[in-house]
Structures are given as C-alpha cells and as structure tokens.
Amino acid sequence: MNASPARRTLRTAAAFGCCLALLSGCSAFGDDTNADPPAVRAAAVPLAAADLQDQYQKVIKNVLPSVVQIQASSDLGSGVVYDGSGHIVTNAHVVGAEKKFRVTTASTEEPLTATLVYSYPQQDLAVIKLDKVPAGLKAAAFGDTDKVQVGQITLAMGSPLGLSSSVTEGIVSATGRTVSENTAGWGSPRSSAAESGGGTGATIPNMVQTSAAINPGNSGGALVNLDGQVIGIPTLAASDPNLGGSAAPGIGFAIPASMVTTVADQIINQGRVTDSGRAALGITGRTVVDVNYQPAGVAVVTVKPGDAADKAGIRPGDTIIKVGRDDITTITSLAESLASDRPGQKTTVTYSRDGVSRTVEVTLGEQ
C-alpha cells in the first residue's frame, strides 16, 4: 500500500534533480560529472525495506526457537513452548487420542519424548510436557489479544508439511471471527473454514483471521506480531466448496492468545479446565430436517438436570429454532450463536413442541 507514495517521491526527487541540472547548464549528455544522479538521491527508500527486513529477522531469531514440531503416531503438528518447565501448548486435534509424543525443539538434534497433560477439544487446545527439559529451552512471550488490530503484520511459524522451522508472512485480516470445525474437515456455512488435517468439531469464538499461509502441520504453532509476541495459535485454514474443498489461499484462523493462556494456565495449575468461560444450554441435540430435507432446527435429545434449559422448561423432544435473534437450523449454528455469550447471561430461546412455538427466557450455564 505504500508503494504508490514511494513512487511519487522518487518521481519528485528525479524531477527536482533534473531542474538542478538544467539550472547549472548541464544535461544527460553533458560533461559535468559533479551532479548527483537521481538514483543516489533516492537511496533512502531501500533503507526502509532493509529496516523492515531486519525486524522480520530479529523476530524470527527470537521466537522460532520456542516453536517445536510434534510427532504423534500418524500425525504431525506444531507446538509452542509455554514455560521453562517443559510445558508445550498445541491444538487438541494435533494430539488426538494419544498420550505420548516425540518433540523436536530448536536446541535438540534428536526428538524428545513428551506426555499429554490434558486435552480440551471444546476449544481445540491441549498441553503436553517434555519428559526431560533440555538446556536452553526458551518459552515464548504471549501478547494481549485486545491490542491485535486489522492490518498488523503477522508471521506464522511451525512445521507445514513436516518442514520444521518454517515461516510465512501476512497481516491480520480480521478479528472476532467465530469459526466451526468438524471431524470431516469442513467448517460451518458461516465460516467455510476447515483445518487442513481435520478438526475436533469445536466452535471457537474471537479467532484471529490472517493472510499468512496456514498449511497442514502449522496447527499448534505460533502466529506472531512484530514485537515478537505470540498473538494466536494457527488452527484452521479455509476451504472453498466451489473448488472441491481445496484450500482458499490467504484465509487462515488462529485461536487468540488470551484464550490460549486462560486454558493453558488452568491445565498446568489444576490438571484440567475448570472455568471455560463458555456459555451453554445444558443439552445434547441433533440437527433435524424439514420435508425438503433442509436443516430446520436442533432437536433436544437430553437435558442436564438443574442446568439452563431444564430451569427454563425445555424438554427432550423439543426443537430449538431460535436463540436471541439468531435463527437455529443446525447444531453448528446453535454452537455459533452461543459462542460469544458468557455464563450467567440471559437470552431467549424459541422452540417448538407438538407443532406449537414457545419462547422462554434462559439464564445460560457454563460449557
């Protein structure tokens, strides 16, 4: 975006240089060798690019040693060193159902072994711990999600396609995205997002959208700003249904750093997630279709006694069709509607029972 002003500056400098040359009685074909060529006068422009390049290299040198490669029995992903005790944060879909892993760090030539501490698929986050902490292990610094702004330069670091210590560059394209995964690799119609190697089925709010390339193996790595802070964990890459599900270039999503630290701190300190901060109705459900086989709501299968839906009088067999102002057609749209809400918040739920629609006020519980 700065190219056009830079070109205008060059043209102005060149024109000014020519005026000076003419005033001194010289021309392009003259013998006067005292006049400075325009190229010399414009030498400051490449210096700005060099400064930015130096900043990139400084950030990469500082952060890349904190990004590791994680090898499960059949899957490969990335992780970020969380502390000096050997805790590593990654995606839940990277660890899957396994308990033991091989981890390659920047300071070790041979893979180390690591053990699962806890996996939290609802947020697609997990923490593993190195069985032996190597010398020189460096923890990453995590940034403030509230300070992330559209247009900031970002670097994605990880092991795409098994190529360890790889870096791609882009910008923050958007913030506050709600994105849904599923095990088939497809996201919701709202997001059309898919992780390049599968997902946990989670619906994740407040994700950071980036144009930095996210490929299989980047999952669990680091999305970094130019201050050398991790602002997110790359998790999803968008797929385009119109292209047969192939990757949509330049559309990737990262779990925001604030959510990562909230979940990781609970796992490390308490062994599990005790406070998700995520709202829930306290039901299990399934998508139902209408006579035209189109999604038409969420049928309530079970209701947790004493939870939000139970207190509001919602019962198994009811079909939820609206939450607040959001129309509910699928189990994914229900999860997306609740994703930005907080436990204790009040909302309305419209459901049908025996062909009759009813609307009730619900005080949301916690996921």
Active site residues: 93, 124, 219
The torsion angles phi and psi of 8, rounded to 5 degrees, stand at: -65, -40
Region label for 191, one of left (φ > 0), alpha (ψ between -120 and 50) or beta (otherwise): alpha
Contact 255, 126 (CB under 8 A): no
List all residues 6 or more positions away from 94 whose beta carbon is below 8 Å from its beta carbon.
Answer: 70, 72, 75, 77, 78, 79, 126, 219, 220
Cα dihedral value 203, 243, 91, 113, nearest 10: 160
Return the sign of the alpha-carbon dihedral for residues 286, 262, 68, 148: positive
State in Å, rounded, how far the first CA of the chain is from the last one: 43
Q: Nearest-CA neighbor of 281 among 305, 254, 309?
A: 309
